[in-house]
Structure 1
């Protein structure tokens, strides 16, 4: 068999024919053939000529950058253009970002409350179908949080509406030649508390609110006493 391979090499046949002759040979016979022919001749016979012509990258226009082969490693020490670092800006405290307008912000993102209301309805429906205690606790927590957020938003709206109403009354009194009467902060605070208590009473939540305030004050007193004893 090895003599046949040598004859094929002598006849300058392609490596496809030579590989056909080699496929029936054992591994031991292949090793002996490799030793006899030499590694270079053996590899050429089996794998063919690997010296392929290198691809030349040409530019269509001399002003274009030259196309480089992806197989060629990039030179490590290359000159990099330095970029000036700009300090990070916080839009909350940067004058270049403009001033915060709470009224405009609330108006632009008013749709979020509608999304929260939809989420609340979805969670309430999920709570009815939930059976796993862990899932029930999680849903109840999310419902409570959404209810608190919506309640706080409604309170803010009512407060804003009252302010606008008071401003309107003051302007009307000034137009009529009357002396405007401005309420003190303490008076405004008392009126807000009264309206809050009336609202809670009408909804039947006054008792629960008072109990929560008692617990809160009790905790504060306990902390204050502990710091004094230390």
Structure 2
């Protein structure tokens, strides 16, 4: 026999009287409608707050069955096909079998996926330092020079014209890479030297001179002119430059004629 004794003090009543009631229910027998009416009449005088407290102490399931007579029944849905030619209807709440096997740790452990990391955009790899990177990968420049020597040797002994063309292109590409790298290194050294001079002047208390872009550009042109003159490539460079400008001028003239 399940006996529930509940004693509550109602603040809403004027005399502050105690409401006491007992709910007796056999585990094997259901509560009749007459008993349920008596229970409802007894709790009708209780406040809403007291009803909520009673529901919390009893439990929602027992409260609904005792007071309201509500008993949830599981409704089984039959997903059989009405016609063999129709597709089978399935509930969207049913999980796939494979997903169940993965999610259920008792049957199968969780699969750990290795996510790729790009060190360029990963904060865990720290900040990028160009100078450190260059010093760490300085050996790549030496490898290029060694590769160039091997290609030049192969070019001398090679008799196949198609292979010769490929080797020449590879040598040209390495030369371009080396030349660009030397150019960048030279610019960095020059910039470093300028910054060093500015710092020294500031330490001495002198006013530093900051060069304009136009002045730097002019200095670079003069330096390039001197280099070409020393290597006897000045005339070739001038011819190449004039040819490039003439082609550019012709294109402008053509576009102007088309628009007119």
TM-score (norm 2): 0.51
Mark the runs of 5 or more structure 2 residues left unpaired by the alignment. Answer: 1-95, 104-109
CA 1:89–1:199: 2 relative to 1, 3 Å:
same
Shift of 1:222: 3.8
Aligned to 2:199: 171
CA 1:103–1:218: 2 relative to 1, 3 Å:
farther
Shift of 1:158: 1.1
Query: Is 1:202 aligned with 2:230?
Result: yes
Q: Which secondary structure does the structure 1 equivalent of 2:97 belong to?
A: coil
Q: Residues 19-168 of structure 1 correspond to what in structure 2 (within 5 A)?
A: 77-78=97-98, 79=100, 80-81=102-103, 92=120, 98-168=126-196
Aligned to 2:210: 182
Higher helix share goes to which structure? 1
Distance 1:89 1:222 in 2: 50
Rg larger for: 2
**Bigger shift: residues 79-88 or 157-166:** 79-88
Q: 1:193 aligns with which of 182, 200, 221?
A: 221
CA 1:87–1:114: 2 relative to 1, 3 Å:
closer
Distance 1:85 1:190 in 2: 57
Residue deviations 1:54-107, cap 9 Å, x none?
xxxxxxxxxxxxxxxxxxxxxx93323398999987665666664433222222
Distance 2:207 2:156 in 1: 58
- Cα-Cα RMSD: 3.0
Number of aligned residue pairs: give it.
Answer: 155
CA 1:192–1:132: 2 relative to 1, 3 Å:
same
Distance 1:101 1:141 in 2: 32
Residue deviations 1:125-167, cap 9 Å, x none?
1111111111111111111111111111111111111111112
Distance 1:163 1:90 in 2: 31
Q: 2:248 aligns with which of 217, 220, 223?
A: 220
Mark the runs of 5 or more structure 1 residues left unpaired by the alignment. Answer: 1-75
